[in-house]
Chain A
């Protein structure tokens, strides 16, 4: 099928999300977030997330159909995030997707959350799909992916060994008494600071680290260093601290991602996930990729955080690649890695 109409469902964390694509064209992307309900707990509470998914699911599906101006009968295939994620949350999505697929007797694909973050980039129809390195950075992930083929061949080259990049931003924002979420707040404050004012450590970049952790990240040492600097430096310039911290994160992310692209001989880098919205990361990525002669891809901000369009996009590529659907009656897997791109 060359241009399948695909509906994708994503419920791995706190966003109840449905996207609809036709081939590689985005038709609808509807998200209902329960983030407000989690705010007082300071983190996503699985039971609250699962409840909210069930409450929102039917409306989100209907809203996406209206936005795409299609009916359920028109859908050629359904896709759903089958892992990784919170198990109770995933189950609401997989059960809803199974109900739709069975009711309409249409194929169902259980797909991987991490690879769909990268696959969302295929929704730019002018783009020629080619092997790429994926840099996935958000509050929940910090990974370097080797994307030989979006639909069929994605491997993890490295990941964070402690906190995700987005978590580091939140923590430093707290130290600087900025609002939650920390990413945008630090981004703003850093605009007026000097990124070279303070040299903060770049985790896992020393020669002896590169042996075992060539493409892995660590942000806990950086947090400690910022915290110590603030304690030991009365009258520290907050904007400089924000800019220098951000520079350290951006530097290590891009250094490792670009070196992965060069080592693998890939000419393209895709940056996705919530942190891909960071303006310093974007400008630095452009500059460094240009220097390294690497084509840089950054999906629109709305498609960087968790959404259903990315699931639909990945599923659509799988349909086009002639992959066998998962069918109904599979189990979601909260901790699956990328060895499972597609559930079978």
Chain B
């Protein structure tokens, strides 16, 4: 082990260093959350001017926001392949902890969407598996939280003791409490694939809308579609269209992992508000007769059943038609 090229792109910072026999030759940093792909090769090119003969590439494997993280890994692995030298993966959290001179502390990296990737350290050793949680949960532990980017120098240092082979993505296990931050916004054409993906998952057994249908729906000028997002992922959608003197709710769908959080209630409120602005007489919807989650929600919001449609959702699957008066 003599000359190490170290890189890390797990935070907004792109960090590059070359270390010979434990001694830093060069360290370059650039802060920009969106430019890892453009910046990293430039920094490496510049660093190589200090020492071009590299024996090994050390790569920060995260956790960190995925797009930037993958830039560092794809680049580092390919550089190693090109030179015919090994690459070594290092935990980016551990690299931050290297320079903390405290007994008990937490190291955290911004995971976006009000969450942190984090792990706890005691007497210089990591004592918890890296995890992802909303800020509040990490803060409630009452331990000092160190938040700064890992340095490529620390990545190089840990390359002598670690050798991770996979990126650290850390998915949220289902048991974690849901973040409060659900974001509602108008749907756009770019959401078509996400909506279709969700639709297929939820209505797999009863003729889901096709991708093309979603595109048509989202392109139609007279419709109103909204989506609910959690951590940038679409977890629900709803749409309404005018039909003569009333408006008709076309769909209202929530990811099964995000039910009972008030998402459908918020959808309904927004569709009703939109309909009121259209100055129509009423808002209507169809619902499966056996949907005992949705019907009470509609009733609680002033919808009344006005008729029943046999086989509306397929043989033996009847629909209730419900209506809420908007003029009173």
Query: Which residues of chain A are within 8 angstroms of B66 by Cβ–Cβ distance?
Result: 47, 50-51, 88
Is B212 interfacial (CB 8 A cutoff)? yes
User: Judging by beta carbons under 8 Å apart, are A42 and B211 in contact?
Assistant: yes
Surface stretch bound by B, among A56-64, A232-240, A301-309, A312-320: A56-64
Surface stretch bound by A, among B75-83, B238-246, B300-308: B75-83
User: Judging by beta carbons under 8 Å apart, are A102 and B41 in contact?
Assistant: yes
User: Judging by beta carbons under 8 Å apart, are B74 and A331 in contact?
Assistant: no
Shortest Cβ gap from B209 to chain A (Å)? 10
User: Judging by beta carbons under 8 Å apart, are B71 and A40 in contact?
Assistant: no
User: Judging by beta carbons under 8 Å apart, are A43 and B74 in contact?
Assistant: no
A285 to B40, CA, bound (A): 47
Query: Which residues of chain B are within 8 angstroms of A41 by Cβ–Cβ distance?
Result: 193, 196-197, 200-201
User: Judging by beta carbons under 8 Å apart, are A329 and B196 in contact?
Assistant: no
Is B73 interfacial (CB 8 A cutoff)? yes
Surface stretch bound by A, among B31-39, B173-181, B257-265, B273-281: B31-39
Is A99 interfacial (CB 8 A cutoff)? yes
Within 8 A of A (CB), among B68-121: 70-84
Is A167 interfacial (CB 8 A cutoff)? yes
Partner of A99, one of B42, B48, B74, B216: B74
A103 to B45, CA, bound (A): 9
Within 8 A of A (CB), among B172-204: 193, 196-197, 199-201
Is B230 interfacial (CB 8 A cutoff)? no
Is B219 interfacial (CB 8 A cutoff)? yes
Contact A102-B48, Cβ < 8 Å, known A42-B200, A220-B216? yes
Contact A95-B211, Cβ < 8 Å, known A103-B83, A330-B38? no
User: Judging by beta carbons under 8 Å apart, are B70 and A62 in contact?
Assistant: no
Is B67 interfacial (CB 8 A cutoff)? yes
Is B29 interfacial (CB 8 A cutoff)? no
Contact A96-B215, Cβ < 8 Å, known A43-B193, A91-B71, A171-B210? no
User: Judging by beta carbons under 8 Å apart, are A329 and B38 in contact?
Assistant: yes
Is A104 interfacial (CB 8 A cutoff)? yes
A217 to B132, CA, bound (A): 46
User: Judging by beta carbons under 8 Å apart, are A43 and B196 in contact?
Assistant: yes
Is A323 interfacial (CB 8 A cutoff)? no
Contact A328-B215, Cβ < 8 Å, known A62-B81, A95-B71? no
Is A115 interfacial (CB 8 A cutoff)? no
Is A87 interfacial (CB 8 A cutoff)? yes
User: Judging by beta carbons under 8 Å apart, are B78 and A95 in contact?
Assistant: yes
Contact A54-B216, Cβ < 8 Å, known A45-B193, A95-B40? no
A167 to B210, CA, bound (A): 10
User: Judging by beta carbons under 8 Å apart, are B45 and A102 in contact?
Assistant: yes
Chain A residue, CB-CB nearest to B83: A103
Within 8 A of A (CB), among B10-45: 35-42, 44-45
Partner of A96, one of B77, B84, B201, B210: B77
Shortest Cβ gap from A311 to chain B (Å)? 15
Chain A residue, CB-CB nearest to B72: A95
A50 to B70, CA, bound (A): 8
Query: Which residues of chain B are within 8 angstroms of A98 by Cβ–Cβ distance?
Result: 40-41, 75, 78
A99 to B77, CA, bound (A): 8
A309 to B80, CA, bound (A): 23
Is B167 interfacial (CB 8 A cutoff)? yes
Chain B residue, CB-CB nearest to A87: B67
Within 8 A of B (CB), among A129-158: none
Shortest Cβ gap from A169 to chain B (Å)? 11
Partner of A163, one of B76, B77, B212: B212
Bitwise interface map of A from 78 to 113 toward B, beta carbon under 8 Å scored 1, else 0: 000000000110011111111111111000000000
Within 8 A of B (CB), among A227-257: none
Q: How large is the interface on B (under 10, 10 to 19, 20 to 34, 35 or more residues)?
A: 35 or more
Query: Which residues of chain B are within 8 angstroms of A329 by Cβ–Cβ distance?
Result: 38-39, 41-42, 45
Contact A95-B82, Cβ < 8 Å, known A43-B193, A102-B44? no
Chain B residue, CB-CB nearest to A103: B82
Contact A88-B200, Cβ < 8 Å, known A58-B77, A96-B78? no
User: Judging by beta carbons under 8 Å apart, are A100 and B167 in contact?
Assistant: no
Query: Which residues of chain B are within 8 angstroms of A92 by Cβ–Cβ distance?
Result: 70-71, 74
Which of B41, B67, B78 counts the most A-chain CB atoms under 10 A from its CB? B78
User: Judging by beta carbons under 8 Å apart, are B193 and A95 in contact?
Assistant: no
Query: Which residues of chain A are within 8 angstroms of B74 by Cβ–Cβ distance?
Result: 53-54, 57, 91-93, 95-96, 99
Query: Which residues of chain B are within 8 angstroms of A225 by Cβ–Cβ distance?
Result: none
A220 to B217, CA, bound (A): 12
Chain B residue, CB-CB nearest to A65: B81
Bitwise interface map of A from 196 to 236 toward B, beta carbon under 8 Å scored 1, else 0: 00000000000000000000000010010000000000000
Contact A44-B45, Cβ < 8 Å, known A95-B74, A171-B212? no
A44 to B40, CA, bound (A): 28
Partner of A331, one of B38, B169, B193: B38
User: Judging by beta carbons under 8 Å apart, are A50 and B67 in contact?
Assistant: yes
User: Judging by beta carbons under 8 Å apart, are B211 and A57 in contact?
Assistant: no
User: Judging by beta carbons under 8 Å apart, are B78 and A103 in contact?
Assistant: yes
A66 to B71, CA, bound (A): 25
Contact A58-B67, Cβ < 8 Å, known A43-B197, A102-B44, A329-B38? no
User: Judging by beta carbons under 8 Å apart, are A328 and B41 in contact?
Assistant: yes
A242 to B75, CA, bound (A): 47
A227 to B115, CA, bound (A): 46
A51 to B67, CA, bound (A): 9
Within 8 A of B (CB), among A265-310: none
On B, residues with C-beta under 8 Å from A are 35-42, 44-45, 48, 66-67, 70-84, 167, 169, 193, 196-197, 199-201, 208, 210-212, 215-216, 219
Beyond known contacts A88-B67, A102-B82: 6 more, CB 8 A cutoff: A51-B70, A72-B84, A95-B41, A96-B78, A102-B44, A328-B42
Closest CB pairs A-B (n = 4): A103-B82, A99-B78, A328-B41, A41-B197
Give 13 pairs: A residue, B residue, CB < 8 Å, sorted on A: A41-B196, A50-B67, A51-B70, A72-B84, A93-B74, A98-B41, A99-B74, A99-B77, A99-B80, A104-B83, A170-B210, A329-B38, A331-B37
